[in-house]
Structure 1
Amino acid sequence: MRIGIDEEVCVLGLGYVGLTLAVAMADAGFRVQGIEIREQVLSLLAEGKAHFFEPGLENRLARVIRSGHFTARKTIPENYNGTVFIVTVGTPLGADGHSRLDMVESVAREVSSRLKDGDLLIMRSTVKLGTTRKIVVPILQASGKRFDLAFCPERTLEGKALTELRQLPQIVGGDTEAASIRASQLFNRLTPTVVRVSDIETAEMIKLIDNASRDVAFAYANEVARACDAVGISAVEVIQAGKLGYPRTNLPMPGPVGGPCLEKDPHILAEGLAERGMAPAITLAARRLNEDQPSEVVRFLKELAGSLDGFPARPTIALLGIAFKGRPATDDLRGTMARPVLDALRQAFPQARLRGYDAVVAPAEIERFGLEPAPTLEAAMDGASLALILNNHPAFSAADPELLVQPMTRPAILYDFWNTFYEHRFHMPEGTRYIALGSHGKPVLPESISS
């Protein structure tokens, strides 16, 4: 273990995880060298701009660039004198449904070519169980250098990353006790609480279990919604009334489950366990249920639309909320459930005009997503026969549902994946209908609609 404090850090991969970590560390006094192969990202960073939305990020980014504590380039400099390398590259699922590790292997080789005796490598990318020891270690060992190694998973929430990096406990799993102590000392400069675990594999598992357990909890809430749809009662009422003042029930609300972690991490967990002869049945069932939800809802909407006299063969359909979540606000489209909803709508309504609105995502990104961008929420609703609220951004809950549907054609359907207006007492205008997930048989106080 190197004596003294590691002051100079190299962060490899400046996506959401890497850039927020790099800026937080630079803001805490580290000298941070960021590495990113995407030229567009580097060009924006040269202007002091981030390539994604995160509250407070650009102000801090500009500050640490001005102070000289953060720089970004495409490759690790040949004469790099830093003592710590942190791997934060992405590990998306490939077309075959298996986790891609090519980026992890690539950066491990790059680090190996610059490794010095006594350096510390920290794995932060979410990986299949055993990846650090089976793939990364042999690549580093080929350098012939002595090194410390730890796995310290990323655990922040998009929209709160800069705050949570300074507050959340940091999990540290070292290959040796010395490596664990060293990585703990590093992260203690960011957060007051470090949780040291027995080994690298335990730290790898914690990250995957954290996200898989959330996916399972949301899946059960969505199963409750399916059950209540079948019975003709409100899932929201069942959930909220059932847990009010009752400490042994803590169900979340139903809704779309996606994003850059939940849509892939259960699969990564299952892949690693399959190699050890174990299939996580509950994890996989929960993921399938959450993945099936968009097509199930669209089938319901197709049947409902077909029962309405005058519903057009070529409807305008508005998708409201394209980012994978709305609270905290983000413009992240990775793993957004708007994608499978859009795909299902194209199958169900092949002649539809498809329009999109998001309070944060740029219109150009909405267009690249495959939708006609609407500049405002009101413009998105204008002339639509069907509108779907897909995330929980405050722009939707701030709207008056009775006014929201006014610009729609008749008959009109407003479908709400998030039960945005459950607490409201309202009457829908004639010829319109509001339906929320988990209340398919019990729409909220509708007035008459042609059928």
Structure 2
Amino acid sequence: MARTIGVIGMGYVGLTLTAALARKGFTVHGVDVQPAVVESLNRGRPHIYEPGVAEVFAEHAGRTILVDTALPAGAVDAAVICVSTPVDEHTRRPDLTSLAAAARHVAASCGPRTLVVVRSTVPVGASRQVVLPPLRAAWGDVRLVMAPERTIQGQALRELVELPQVVGGLDEPSLAAGLDLFGDLAQRLVPVSGLEAAELVKLSNNCHTDLIYAFGNEIALIAERHGVDPLEVIGAANLGYPRPDLARPGYVGGGCLSKDPYIMLSDSAERPPFLIEQARRLNEFLPVHVAETVVELIRQARGTTEGATLAVLGWAFKGWPPTDDMRGTPIAAMMPVFAAAGLTVLGHDPLVPDNVIRQYGGEPTSIDKAFSEADGVLVINDHPDYRAIEPAAVLGARRPAVVFDSWRILDEGALTGAGVRYAGIGYLPEGVSA
């Protein structure tokens, strides 16, 4: 039974897996190439926000959680590769450099008795084509599995235990070892026929989610053109209807949904999928469309956008479950539109630090000042702090001319009753055309 685990890569996937394993009694050797991350984790201070993780590291760091820039030679029963597989912003091709480096490191630090687990999201075939060769060259016999991570930010420690864990093996001995390892963590195991099947499971989950959300956004854009409330349409379509529900419109970001469709597309040049790229393009279009709409609403209200101030609430890519994750955040695509219009952007997020807001071009502010000092307010995510906003408590003598409430969580009647124009995704004030 594997009880000492190496986790290569202390990003979100590796960090949360390390915490979950430590809670189950494993000894975990974490690896990260960034000395500052290593130092912080060994002091029990995670560099990424996720509920419950800080408490686990505070209890176990230096005892059963040990982090360094390399694995201790021959010390682990299993090595789990959790490194990032980013997509190039220009070519949209996945960069597997870190994956290959991690495989070489495991080959040099471990041996054929070590179970190797690929947990990073990879193109179909990458476990066999990128990870396996250096292991086989070093050891001959290899035990290798693909066991994709499928958790959601804000619920990772619970989902690592409660979500079914998919495991695909290089061969039967590999699969058996992988099921033995994850049987000590997850409540339910789903063995599949091989490495490629497990790789495709992860990509299918995330591409399907991207596609579902894209259709909700498509309905919102169509409703906008016809002056119809998309939430009314979607609510009526779903009510009591025994077919799959339509998704509410909203932004689609994060570290997975913003890149995994491109990973799926990367090995499909000969026969590209019909839907995946179009769904991704639509979801990437939405933040730009909203930004252009907000600019136009401010222009109509003031006569010009030059010198106007826009307060943006919610800079992380989502508000619920709460996260500080800026990967795939809508604000990244919006800021060039605001800058071109001459807007000064104020920013607030309950979890994103002020210095990060400044890095993206915003000036930190408070919720109260957002509603009392700005010409317009844009609510991007649905953090509970924003759901709790009472317009009567934040509106003063000087109030915004426009509030664009992306998730429709504010009291529309209270805002319009105070003379504020109210809009949302696919939902424009009376007299405004798409």
Scaled by the length of structure 2, what TM-score is found?
A: 0.95
Q: In structure 2, what is the Cα distance between the partners aligned to 1:322 and 1:408?
A: 24
Instruction: Tell me the equivalent position of 1:326.
Output: 319
- Decide whether the 8 Å contact of 1:311 with 1:385 is kept in 2: no
Once the two structures are TM-superposed, the CA of residue 312 in structure 1 deviates from its matched residue by 4.9
Instruction: Tell me the equivalent position of 2:356.
Output: 365
Once the two structures are superposed, residues 191-226 of structure 1 have per-residue CA deviations (whole angstroms, 9 ceiling, x without a partner) of: 110000001001000100100000000000000100
Instruction: Tell me the equivalent position of 2:230.
Output: 235
Does structure 1 residue 80 correspond to structure 2 residue 74?
A: yes
Over 3 Å counting, the alpha-carbon distance change for 1:171 and 1:308 in structure 2 is same
Q: In structure 2, what is the Cα distance between the partners aligned to 1:309 and 1:120?
A: 64
Once the two structures are TM-superposed, the CA of residue 430 in structure 1 deviates from its matched residue by 4.9
Instruction: Tell me the equivalent position of 1:247.
Output: 242
- Decide whether the 8 Å contact of 1:402 with 1:429 is kept in 2: no
Does structure 1 residue 415 correspond to structure 2 residue 404?
A: yes
- Decide whether the 8 Å contact of 2:43 with 2:61 is kept in 1: no
Q: In structure 2, what is the Cα distance between the partners aligned to 1:17 and 1:429?
A: 46
Instruction: Tell me the equivalent position of 2:120.
Output: 125
- Decide whether the 8 Å contact of 1:119 with 1:146 is kept in 2: no
Q: In structure 2, what is the Cα distance between the partners aligned to 1:181 and 1:64?
A: 29
Once the two structures are TM-superposed, the CA of residue 441 in structure 1 deviates from its matched residue by 5.1
Q: In structure 2, what is the Cα distance between the partners aligned to 1:134 and 1:439?
A: 48
Once the two structures are TM-superposed, the CA of residue 305 in structure 1 deviates from its matched residue by 2.8
Q: In structure 1, what is the Cα distance between the partners aligned to 2:232 and 2:299?
A: 29
Structure 1 stretch 167-176 or stretch 333-342: which is displaced more?
A: 333-342
Instruction: Tell me the equivalent position of 1:426.
Output: 414
Q: How many residues align?
A: 431
Over 3 Å counting, the alpha-carbon distance change for 1:246 and 1:404 in structure 2 is farther
Once the two structures are superposed, residues 17-76 of structure 1 have per-residue CA deviations (whole angstroms, 9 ceiling, x without a partner) of: 10110111111011110001111211211221000111111111111226x211000112
- Decide whether the 8 Å contact of 1:230 with 1:441 is kept in 2: no
Instruction: Tell me the equivalent position of 1:446.
Output: none
Does structure 1 residue 174 correspond to structure 2 residue 185?
A: no
1:36 to 23, 26, 32: 32
Secondary structure of 2:151's partner? coil
Q: In structure 1, what is the Cα distance between the partners aligned to 2:397 and 2:144?
A: 59
Instruction: Tell me the equivalent position of 1:51.
Output: 47
Does structure 1 residue 7 correspond to structure 2 residue 3?
A: yes
Matches within 5 A, 1:80-99: 80-95=74-89, 96-99=91-94
The runs of 5 or more residues in structure 1 that have no matched partner are: 444-448
Q: In structure 2, what is the Cα distance between the partners aligned to 1:430 and 1:63?
A: 51
Q: In structure 2, what is the Cα distance between the partners aligned to 1:304 and 1:15?
A: 39
Over 3 Å counting, the alpha-carbon distance change for 1:404 and 1:221 in structure 2 is farther
Over 3 Å counting, the alpha-carbon distance change for 1:193 and 1:220 in structure 2 is same
Identity %: 34
Over 3 Å counting, the alpha-carbon distance change for 1:418 and 1:427 in structure 2 is closer
- Decide whether the 8 Å contact of 1:21 with 1:165 is kept in 2: yes
1:307 to 286, 300, 312: 300
Q: In structure 2, what is the Cα distance between the partners aligned to 1:394 and 1:27?
A: 28
Q: In structure 1, what is the Cα distance between the partners aligned to 2:174 and 2:51?
A: 33
Does structure 1 residue 23 correspond to structure 2 residue 14?
A: no
Amino acid at match of 1:44: S
Q: In structure 2, what is the Cα distance between the partners aligned to 1:245 and 1:407?
A: 45
Structure 1 stretch 379-388 or stretch 155-164: which is displaced more?
A: 379-388
Secondary structure of 2:369's partner? helix
Q: In structure 2, what is the Cα distance between the partners aligned to 1:32 and 1:43?
A: 16
- Decide whether the 8 Å contact of 1:115 with 1:143 is kept in 2: no
